[in-house]
Amino acid sequence: MPQVMEFKLPDLGEGLTEAEIVRWLVAVGDVVAIDQPVVEVETAKAMVEVPCPYGGVVTARFGEEGQELPVGAPLITVAVGAEAASAEAPAAPAAEASGSGNVLVGYGTDHSRPARRRRVRPVTAEVSAPVAQVAGPVPVISPLVRKLAKDHGVDLRALRGSGPEGLILRADVEAALSALRAPQPAAAPVAAPVAVAAQGERIPLKGVRGAVAEKLSRSRREIPDATCWVDADATELMAARAAMNAVGGPKISVLALLARICTAALARYPELNSTVDLAAGEIVRLPSVHLSFAAQTERGLMVPVVRDAQNRNPESLSAEFARLTELARAGKLSPADLTGGTFTLNNYGVFGVDGSTPIINHPEAAMLGVGRIIAKPWVHGGELAVRQVVQLSLTFDHRVCDGGTAGGFLRYVADCVESPAVLLRSL
């Protein structure tokens, strides 16, 4: 007889406690191999394909697309063993029956391989997701659905669930809210099954926005930050970039040149490439520069990380910025792409603004902000001229250094922007 193994939503790291099912990749009756992705979920960090550590026949799926599940909730059950497959499908090897052991994070193992997706007759009948027994007569399995209803004043007892055995899903609550907000005929009685306080729209602080809010709040609570800024003449930097791109080959971005300047500046002022260990009462200076950068996407602000940026030239930095930005906009960044940064480069000039005093990306110690590069009157060579001017700002953790160090870092960055030869002399 086959052994039925239950695979639960794994811990996706970074303190994430729930994920939303975006798309099922398998159906009941499909044959799956070890580490084959079975579901695509969305967390507050990224979209993740979750592989199953067991090989065999899918006998049940738990949760609907659009439903949020807490970590540890059942995802699927798989019948493993030679008897699990029909004559149409080969028996799962013994290694598959034992499982890969890959129960954390859910990225698959190095030996993962694609499996043919085929419909077979499962040994057991299709199983519906059971409804958890909760206090009271209302069938709700997810605490997140309860919270959504509570935040919007929804009476769950008035709803009919669309899930298995009347399970109330997130979609049911949202449908009730939509019905309430729809225009009602003047003479028709209001029969909406929910009641919302007349105090404006309430938007749950969850997902990406919730994660950003928590991180920024922690930064404000823990980090005594300060900001200094300077205007710089970027005309020579822009001319240097134009000359580099004129010779052919991959194009070099302005962000890549600024990143290269940052890594050179951090080599001179390593205090700013550090973090504070509150528990130990120590400042930890970090040996490598893992450069975070802000990328605006439809899902909100993402901050991918370029690993070992100090070892990359402008061409390599340009390629990595482009790769990570594309993944961010497609919602395909992994949690590993979004963690481990040691210093942030924030180009808010793309929004058409000159300056900002950003909040430090906890637990980093500093962030360099870059405004728009715009033609302005500037004294150059003792005469008034029109030059390409940019405002640079540095927000830093005052615990790791004093104003002299921060000012020295920012002045060096500005000098390199105004005269790229300064950077060449320091290499």
Q: Which amino acid is at 118?
A: R
How far apart (Å, rounded) are the C-alpha atoms in residues 37 and 53?
9
Q: What are the residue numbers of the active site?
A: 398, 402
Helix (H) or strand (E) holding 10: none
Query: Distance of CA 56 to CAs 38, 248, 402, Å?
Result: 12, 52, 61
Place of tokens 């792409």: 337
> Is residue 114 packed enough to be buried (19+ CB in 10 Å), middle (13-18) or exposed (0-12)?
exposed
Query: Distance of CA 364 to CAs 230, 238, 340, 394, 410, Å?
Result: 22, 29, 9, 13, 17
Query: Distance of CA 179 to CAs 144, 183, 192, Å?
Result: 21, 9, 7
How far apart (Å, rounded) are the C-alpha atoms in residues 217 and 52?
36
Q: Burial letters for 320-329: b for 16+ Cβ neighbours within 10 Å, e otherwise?
A: bbeebbebbe
90 Cβ contact list (under 8 Å, min separation 6): none
Domains of the chain: 3-98 (2.40.50.100), 130-204 (4.10.320.10), 224-426 (3.30.559.10)
Assign 297 to helix, strand or coil.
Answer: strand
Radius of gyration of the chain (CA): 27
Q: What is the pTM of this model?
A: 0.61
Which tops the pLDDT comparison, 81 or 333?
333
Residue 148 near residue 126 (C-beta atoms within 8 A): no
The values of phi and psi at residue 271, to 5°, are -60, -30
Q: Beta strand 295-297 with 300-302: parallel, antiparallel or unpaired?
A: antiparallel
Is pLDDT above 80 for 328?
Answer: yes
The values of phi and psi at residue 232, to 5°, are -135, 150
Query: Distance of CA 201 to CAs 155, 196, 204, 389, Å?
Result: 17, 9, 10, 42
Residue 165 is predicted with a pLDDT of 63
pLDDT in tens, 254-284: 999 999 999 999 999 999 999 999 999 999 9
Residue 370 near residue 301 (C-beta atoms within 8 A): no
pLDDT in tens, 100-143: 544 443 333 433 333 334 343 333 333 333 333 333 446 655 55
> Is residue 403 packed enough to be buried (19+ CB in 10 Å), middle (13-18) or exposed (0-12)?
exposed
Q: Which region among 202-211, 237-246, 401-410 has the lowest average model confidence (pLDDT)? A: 202-211
Query: Distance of CA 315 to CAs 253, 256, 260, 330, 368, Å?
Result: 8, 8, 10, 23, 21
pLDDT in tens, 31-55: 999 989 999 887 766 778 889 999 9
